[in-house]
Chain A
Amino acid sequence: MSRLILLVIVVGLISGCEKKVKPLPIFGQREVVNGDTVYHHIAKYQFVDQDSAIITNDTFKDQIYVADFFFTSCRTICPIMKTQMLRVYESTAELPDVKLLSHTIDPEYDTVALLHDFARKLGVSSDRWHFVTGAKDSIYKIAQTSYFATAMEDKSEPDGFIHSGAFLLIDKQQRLRGKYDGTKEEDVNRLLVDIKRLRKEYE
């Protein structure tokens, strides 16, 4: 009898494995409008990148992108995040539809010139990795309401800000499809796998 149960479990497991890979979750609230499901998506934005180019939602039209929030003078988690984001940058080099978007949460200090210098020192190109600045309130608002990431000023913190080290995976319909800890190598490995999974949805 126990053997039979074991057999059933094993067969169940094997057939479970053969199923199609589950699509990535779609984060946020959804509502049904006229019979169609409308998902949470990234709100309209307009920022300026390290080359003074205007960056809007249209910049990432038909693109998958990974977003994060940082500032250049941060000495706590940001250097780790940038090391990990650089890994993402390097491992997606051959993927024409994958881009990166880093928002500064200290736009008063992180000017376009400074972001330009930062990107140059990191050795990355602006056509694949945009470092953007803009109105502080707009950046904080989009972080919290669109990307579900923490970003705000806090004078009691050592660097003057609190922010999460999250990397956010956005699909071609501007929907949030994954959230990863950008300070943890294993979690960023998961992101790299998920980028491939997400690209498969569009094949």
Chain B
Amino acid sequence: MSIVYWLTSSGLEKNMNRFLLLLFLLAIASCSPGNSSGDSVKYQQYFVQGEQLYNTHCSNCHQKSGKGLGLLYPPLDESDYMTNNLSSVICLIKYGKSGELIVNGKQYNQVMPGVPILTDLEIAEIATYIYNSWTHDEGLIEVAEVTKVLQQCEGED
């Protein structure tokens, strides 16, 4: 089946698009002045992988646009909570979160299920994606940092 898929034009086209996207991103990476880590290719890899993981695990509720949904799912595109709580965000991606949460002055209280199967690297990729999309511009989130934070998550297991 997969061979047929690869041979079909849409399959080829899709891969071509991906390839072009990668080329494009590499081109941007090679031109941009570079972020704090000074490792732009790594940043772009994290960002692209992070976007895919975001679309698999997060965007159902938080939307591809990061706008969330009403007072059910808080927004990520503009979020003082995200800006001020990087460690908590890393923990809640893996372990979930329940109870009251204030984002941009609004109260949210919907249980967010965690995704415990995510590896530290995958969480670093998701974090890099969401912290550099929409209004955010935090640069690369290193996997070493994620690993350190995850060892200190409190009562969220």
Residues of A in contact with B (beta carbons under 8 Å apart): 73, 75-77, 79-80, 82-83, 86, 118, 120-123
Contacts and interface: CB of A to CB of B under 8 A. Distances in A.
B71 A83 contact: no
Interface residues of B, number: 11
B73 A79 contact: yes
Interface of B: 60-61, 63, 69-73, 110-111, 113
B53 to A, nearest CB: 16
A121 B71 contact: yes
A118 B72 contact: yes
A76 B72 contact: no
Nearest to A158: B113
Given A75-B60, A79-B61, A86-B70, 7 more contacts: A73-B111, A79-B72, A120-B71, A121-B71, A122-B70, A122-B71, A123-B70
Nearest to B60: A79
A183 to B, nearest CB: 9
A15 to B, nearest CB: 34
Q: Is the interface of A mostly helix, strand, loop or mixed?
A: helix
Nearest to A183: B60
6 contacts: A82-B69, A86-B70, A121-B70, A121-B71, A121-B72, A122-B69
Contacts of B63: 83
B69 A83 contact: yes
Contacts of B61: 75, 79
A90 B110 CA distance: 23
A122 B60 contact: no
Contacts of B70: 86, 121-123
Contacts of B71: 120-123
Nearest to A123: B70
A121 B103 CA distance: 14
A77 B72 CA distance: 15
Nearest to A78: B60
A73 B98 CA distance: 13
B131 to A, nearest CB: 22
A83 B68 CA distance: 9
Contacts of A120: 71
B113 A122 contact: no
List the 3 shortest-distance A-B pairs measured between CB atoms, nearest first. Answer: A121-B71, A122-B70, A79-B61
B82 to A, nearest CB: 19
Contacts of A73: 111
